[in-house]
Chains A and B, each alone.
Chain A
Amino acid sequence: MSQIGYGVLLLCLCVSVYGAIALFMGARRGPRRLLQSGTNALLMMAVLVSLAAAILLYLLLAHDFGVTYVYQYTSTHLPFIYTVSAFWAGEAGSWLLWLWFLTILAAIAVRQSERLGRIGPYILATLAANEAFFTLVLILTANPFETMHSTPVEGVGMLPLLENPGMVIHPPVLFLGYAGYALPLAFALGALMSGELSGEWVKGVRPWNLFAWLSLGLGILIGAWWSYVELGWGGYWAWDPVENASLIPWLIGTAFVHSAMIEERRGMHRMWNVVLATLSFVLCLFATLVTRGGIIVSDLHGFARSLQPIAYLLMAFMALILGVSSFLLWRRRRHLASERQMESPLSREGSFLLANVLLCGMALIVLVGTLYPTLAQSIRGIQVSLDASFFDRATGPLALALICLMGVCPVIAWRRLTREGLRLVLPSTLGGALFAAVLLALGVREALPLVSGAISAFVALSLLSILARDVMSRRRSTGEGYLRAMLTLLSKARRSYGAYVVHLGIVLITIGVTGSRTYQSEQLIALNPGESTAIAGYELRYNDHSVQTLNPEPETYQSKVRLSTVLDVYVGDSRVATLTPQKNYHYALENPWVTEVAIRSTLKEDLYVILASLDEDGLAAFQIVINPLITWIWIGGGLLLLGTAIAAWPRVRRTAEER
């Protein structure tokens, strides 16, 4: 069966290479037959890779331990859902997943591309070339169908850190984002190659852009959530190279979403758009390079100290894309000039431009910070590492400025700031200042909550005032009720209102980040059974403990001794929760200890308990952390999803409400 899988991959390589060549040649002068044949190859790829994916899934579920990948990541103990998620637990499987997503998205793009004129075949050709590269990587460096010399009876099992719902969702969503960014690249290169640079490509790429941006953003948030609940250090973002690597393309992608709008409305920023589209994709490849390629030197993370073979392939591909796009950019530079000049910096275009510069600036800072230890070692020969505080301090001001802009942009009109815009901005600004004053009065003295509180209030009020203005003007013209007016606006002015919901989501995330960063508190305490401790208005009573051995035979990564404690949480006299922080000793693992934290979440704060140790007589040591406002981060993420869905929802025709 695995031989069939490998054969399918080889076939995929031939098909995708053929498709790329046929489409490219067909685009330039081709007979329609060649184009048709190339397109069929692309559709064929979707079928073939789906087949390969199905085969891998089958091998996993059938526990065929003769296949190296199945042996390395599963065992018969593994629950069904994790046997499935083992598909993307390792390098080879996750590449196959990425490729599979890519082929599906490309197949969906076929229909749209056929309606796009000259640019269409170039888009498909780029996608086919992309698929060829990924297949090549699979075959050369990450073959999921590799077999062992003999078939072991039992698999090694899954790393316990990966046995978590977060790790079931996080990689697929993230890879959906990475795969999605192949579309903007294809559109941009397609536009450059065909010379169709009048803005059609930006309109056509918009749904893909939003899709990739949303997937990547959600993937990052889910990763942060996983880190919070599974890694058990009390935080959710450590500015570590792997996290940063996925954030950088997302920041560039955010800039692209905005500058694409400028080109759509005003025919400006053509060069920006081509560059940003290409960069977002290349940075996704770079993210993969950082995660698997061994280029990052870090004393804290066991990144491979030497370059993996995959690194060379990735770097070559990145160089190829950058080279081709630079060459094409230079050749088409005249076509990329803007249709119009910006009339005034105090305009929507101006604020969008500023936002993009800030976003790219943040991406640059994160990139520099991530590469700094590697560069320092290779250039100056010294071993350094960069604290998380660098990223906080360097990106913080830019992030706050950006959030401010979110409040300004909707009120500022295209072309120049009008008096009406000023009238809307002023009350919100006063509101923000008032909120800061209220916080001061309540005893808040730290800079971050004051500043970000004021800015968040400003943005929220600004969005509210826009909503109020629109609802009022709707009521004036149609006499609808408030609720009805709001719903109609939501459905008619989707792009704007979707964006407002997304921006509101960002504000919520800011609130969550500020609260948990500034006011986190913790307590270290040892308790005997029956004893209690108090923190932040909670009383935690340590009631019970147990030690059990799970999955003992046969011995796999899932075999463990579970040390478990039971804590009852009281607020006042009523019991509000029962928490069971645990520690598992996976005796087959080199690093056997895995902590399972217990969390009680409310909108106000999280009560987060880590079991530090458990003695035979029941003496337990706990680290108790209070994380204020952290739930708002996840809620904000939900709004990101909702807002993007609203903005991207297809419409039958544009209405007058569209601005």
Chain B
Amino acid sequence: MGESVSGSKFAAQGLVTGGRLKYVVGGAIILVVIAWLILSNIEGASAHYLTVEELLAQGPSEQMVRVSGLVVGETIEWDPQRLILRFEIADEGGSIPVMYEGVRPDMFRDGAQAVVEGRHSSSGVFEATALILKCPSKYVAE
């Protein structure tokens, strides 16, 4: 019983008295640092996906963008000598040819949801530096 009385004395000491202040200030500083870490990095790392329609409307530019669309099966061409993958991605608003140098991902096929990151070049071809495909869910039946 006595312990809980003295315990509540400590609790009642309040935040500003004595040595507690430096812990509160220290804690606040850390919280600010954490908030800063989150906020300063979120804008830089979040990528708004353009639809193919939006990309076509924007036209060729030097800017690196991300575009999401469906892979059009008949247009897939794989050059095994130079490891270049050519295909078109499309949505209701149109389609655009893509050129990607790299390994053809396992999930890659007609109708796959793909995200390409790169430049819309002046030749009309989207030069992709990254190609990411949607992975199916392990647990839920599709």
Contact = CB atoms under 8 A, between A and B. Distances in A.
Contacts of A395: 37
Interface stretch (A22-30, A178-186, A296-304): A296-304
B3 A304 contact: no
A615 interface: yes
Contacts of B134: 299-302
Nearest to B111: A590
B7 A365 contact: no
B7 A387 contact: no
A334 B11 contact: yes
Interface stretch (B20-28, B57-65, B90-98, B120-128): B20-28
A345 B11 contact: no
Contacts of A613: 78, 80, 104
A522 B34 CA distance: 35
B38 A300 contact: no
Nearest to A291: B139
Contacts of A57: none
A361 B34 contact: yes
Interface string B97-139: 0000111101111000101000000000000000011111111
For the residues of A in contact with B, the DSSP-based class is mixed
A620 to B, nearest CB: 8
A308 B140 CA distance: 9
A390 B137 contact: no
Contact of A621 (B11, B37, B103): B103
Contacts of A342: 19, 23
A395 B4 CA distance: 39
A365 B45 contact: no
Contact of B7 (A291, A338, A345): A338
A433 interface: no
A299 B135 contact: no
A382 B137 contact: no
Contacts of A361: 30-31, 33-34
A300 to B, nearest CB: 6
A595 interface: yes
A317 to B, nearest CB: 18
Contacts of A387: 45-47
A57 B132 CA distance: 37
Nearest to A525: B83
B80 A335 contact: no
Contacts of B83: 524-526, 612, 621, 623
Contacts of B82: 526
Interface size class of B (residues with CB under 8 A): 35 or more
Given A90-B139, A384-B47, A524-B83, A333 B37 contact: no
Contacts of A383: 48-49
Contact of A390 (B42, B102, B132): B42
A376 B80 CA distance: 40
A133 interface: no
Contacts of B22: 345
A525 B83 CA distance: 7
A176 to B, nearest CB: 19
A587 interface: no
Given A384-B46, A384-B47, A623-B102, A337 B11 contact: yes
Given A385-B47, A397-B37, A612-B103, A302 B136 contact: yes
A94 to B, nearest CB: 8
Given A334-B8, A345-B23, A595 B46 contact: no
Contact of B46 (A90, A337, A372, A610): A372
A162 B139 CA distance: 12
A301 to B, nearest CB: 5
Contact of A610 (B103, B109, B132): B103
B107 A299 contact: no
A386 B39 CA distance: 12
Contact of A292 (B38, B113, B140): B140
Contact of B81 (A294, A386, A526, A595): A526
A1 interface: no
B78 to A, nearest CB: 6
A514 to B, nearest CB: 19
A337 B115 CA distance: 53
A48 B81 CA distance: 60
A384 B43 CA distance: 10
A593 interface: yes
25 contacts: A90-B139, A91-B139, A299-B113, A300-B135, A301-B135, A303-B140, A335-B7, A337-B10, A338-B7, A342-B19, A345-B26, A358-B30, A382-B48, A384-B47, A384-B48, A385-B46, A385-B47, A386-B45, A390-B41, A591-B106, A612-B83, A615-B80, A619-B80, A619-B81, A621-B81
Given A291-B139, A384-B48, 13 more contacts: A294-B140, A299-B68, A299-B113, A334-B4, A358-B30, A364-B34, A390-B46, A591-B136, A592-B109, A610-B103, A612-B83, A613-B78, A619-B81
Interface of B: 3-4, 7-8, 10-11, 19, 22-23, 26-27, 30-31, 33-34, 37-38, 41-42, 44-49, 68, 78, 80-83, 101-104, 106-109, 113, 115, 132-140, 142
By Cβ-Cβ distance, the 3 closest A-B pairs, closest first, are A390-B45, A337-B7, A387-B45
